C-alpha cells in the first residue's frame, strides 16, 4: 500500500473510532465528566491546603484532564480490543488484507485524540466556573508538548492494545490500571513525593513525561525539553515493543485459535 493510501487509511480509522467513542455514553462520561469531577475534588483539596488560586487551578485542570486522557487511552485502546472480541469482529480485522497494525494505529490514536478533547473540557471548566486565567509560560513550546504527549500516549496505547488482543481477560485487569497510573505518573501528586522504588517506574511511563511536557510549557519555570525528548524516545520504544508483541501475538493466536473466544 502506498504511503498516501496508508495515511488515508489511518486517518479514516482514527475518525471512525472517534465517532464510535462519541456514541458511547460510557466514554462521554469517562473523557468529559469524570475529569471534571476529579478536577473539582482536587481543586477543593488543594485549596484547603492553601494553594494559590491561579497556579493551583491550572495545575489541577491539566492534571485532572490528563487523568481523563489516561482513562480514555486505557479503555479506548485496551477496551476497544475487548469490545471487538465480544462483537466477534476481532478475528475479521486481524485477518483483513490491510496490515492490522495500521488499523491499530488508527484506533489507538483515535482514542488518544478523543481523550485530549477532555483536557479542553477541563480547561473550559476552570475558566467558566472558577475564572481560571489561561496562560502559558512557554506558549510556543506548548503545541510541541501536546504533540509529544499524543504521540507517546498513542504508542503506549498500541502496546496496551496488542497485549490485550491475546489475553482474554485483560479488560478486567486493565480496569485496575487507572488509579495506580494516575498516582505513579505524578499527575496530581509529584513523582518526587512517591517512594523511591516507585520513581523508576514513573520514568518509564508516557503519561509522566507527557504531563511534564505540557505542564512545563504551561506553568513551568523552565522549558520542558527533557520531557519532550523523553516522550518521543519512549514513543519509539513502545512502538517497537508493540510491533514485536503483535507479531508474536498474531502467531500465537493463529496457533491457539483464541481470537474468537469470549
Partner 1 sequence: MRSPVAGAPAIEAIDLVRTYNTHIGVIRRRPISVEAVRGISFEVHPGELFGLLGPNGAGKTTTIKMLITLLLPTSGTARVMGFDVVRDTTAVRQRIGYVFGGDRGLYDRVSGMDNLRYFAELYGVEPSEQKRRIAALLELVGLTGREHEKVEGYSRGMRQRLHIARGLLHDPEVIFMDEPSIGLDPVGARELRQTVRSLVDAGKTVLLTTHYMFEADALCDRIAVINAGRIVALGTGADLKDAIADRTIVEIETFGVTDEAVERLRGDDEVNAVNMEEREQSQILLVQSDRGAHITQRLLSLLGDTRVGKVVAREPTLEDAYVHLIATTGDDEAHAARAASVQLG
Partner 2 sequence: MTALAAPISRIAPDTLRSAWRVFWYGGRMSYGMLFNWARPSIYIPTLIGGPTFQLFFFAALGSYATDRSAAYFAIGNAVQVSALAGVFGMTMAIANERWFGTLPALLATPANRVALFAGRFMPFVLHGLLVSLYAFGLGVVFLGVRLAPGSLAVAGMALLVTVFSCTAIGALQGAVSLRLRDGLFGANLVTMSILLFCGVNIPLDELPGWMQVVGNLLPFTHGLEAVRQAAAGAGLDEVGGLIAIEVVVGIAYAVLAFALFSYLERSARRNATLDIR
Which residue ranges make up the site for partner 2 (CB under 8 A)?
24-26, 28-30, 33-34, 37, 40-42, 44-46, 48-49, 51, 169, 172-173, 175-176, 178-180, 182-183, 188-190, 193-194
Q: Among residues 19, 99, 252, 254, which is the contact residue for partner 1, using CB under 8 A?
A: 19
Instruction: Give the C-alpha distances (Å, rounded to integers) separating 221 from 96, 108, 213.
Output: 49, 32, 12
Number of amino acids touching partner 1 (CB under 8 A)? 3
| By CB under 8 A, residue 8 contacts partner 1 | no
Nearer to partner 2, 82 or 218 (CB): 82
**In a 10 Å sphere around its CB, with 0-12 CB exposed, 13-18 middle and 19+ buried, how is residue 150 labelled?**
buried
Q: Which does 6 bind (CB under 5 to 8 A by kind): partner 1, partner 2, none?
A: none
244 binds, among partner 1, partner 2, none (CB under 5 to 8 A by kind): none
Closest CB to partner 2 among 27 and 239?
A: 27
Query: Can you tell me which of 2, 3, 23, 193 binds partner 1, judged by CB under 8 A?
Result: 23
Q: Give how far Cα 83 sits from Cα of 158, 171, 237, Å.
A: 16, 9, 27
Query: In angstroms, what is the minimal distance from the CB of 24 to partner 2?
Result: 6
Of 107, 111, 112, residue with least CA distance to 94: 107
Buried/exposed 176-204: b ≥16 CB within 10 Å, e otherwise: ebbeebbebbbbbeebeeeeeeeeeebee
**Beta carbon nearer to partner 2, 124 or 183:** 183
Q: Which is nearer to partner 2, 11 or 179 (CB)?
A: 179
Contact partner, 19, from partner 2, partner 1, none, Cβ < 5-8 Å per class: partner 1
CA 238 distance to own-chain centroid: 13
Which letter does DSSP use for residue 251 in this model?
Answer: H
Please, are residues 54 and 230 in contact by the beta-carbon 8 Å criterion? no
Rounded to whole angstroms, the Cα distance separating 223 from 253 reads 45
Residue 56 CB, shortest distance to partner 1, in Å, is 35
Amino acid at each position: 500500500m502506498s504511503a498516501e493510501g496508508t495515511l488515508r487509511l489511518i486517518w479514516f480509522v482514527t475518525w471512525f473510532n472517534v465517532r464510535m467513542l462519541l456514541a458511547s455514553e460510557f466514554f462521554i462520561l469517562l473523557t468529559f465528566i469524570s475529569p471534571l469531577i476529579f478536577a473539582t475534588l482536587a481543586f477543593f483539596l488543594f485549596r484547603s491546603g492553601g494553594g494559590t488560586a491561579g497556579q493551583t487551578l491550572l495545575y489541577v485542570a491539566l492534571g485532572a484532564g490528563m487523568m481523563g486522557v489516561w482513562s480514555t487511552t486505557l479503555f479506548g485502546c485496551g477496551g476497544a480490543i475487548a469490545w471487538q472480541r465480544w462483537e466477534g469482529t476481532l478475528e475479521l480485522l486481524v485477518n483483513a488484507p490491510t496490515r492490522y497494525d495500521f488499523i491499530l494505529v488508527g484506533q489507538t490514536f483515535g482514542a488518544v485524540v478523543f481523550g485530549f478533547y477532555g483536557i479542553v473540557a477541563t480547561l473550559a471548566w476552570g475558566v467558566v466556573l472558577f475564572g481560571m486565567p489561561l496562560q502559558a509560560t512557554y506558549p510556543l513550546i506548548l503545541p510541541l508538548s501536546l504533540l509529544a504527549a499524543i504521540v507517546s500516549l498513542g504508542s503506549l496505547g498500541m502496546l496496551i492494545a496488542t497485549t490485550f488482543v491475546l489475553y482474554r481477560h485483560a479488560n478486567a485487569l486493565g480496569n485496575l490500571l487507572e488509579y495506580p497510573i494516575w498516582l505513579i505518573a505524578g499527575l496530581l501528586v509529584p513523582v518526587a513525593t512517591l517512594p523511591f522504588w516507585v520513581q523508576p517506574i514513573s520514568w518509564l511511563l508516557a503519561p509522566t513525561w507527557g504531563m511534564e511536557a505540557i505542564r512545563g510549557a504551561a506553568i513551568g519555570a523552565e522549558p520542558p525539553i527533557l520531557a519532550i525528548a523523553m516522550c518521543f524516545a519512549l514513543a519509539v520504544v513502545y512502538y517497537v515493543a508493540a510491533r514485536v508483541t503483535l507479531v508474536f501475538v498474531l502467531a500465537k493466536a493463529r496457533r491457539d485459535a483464541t481470537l474468537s473466544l469470549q
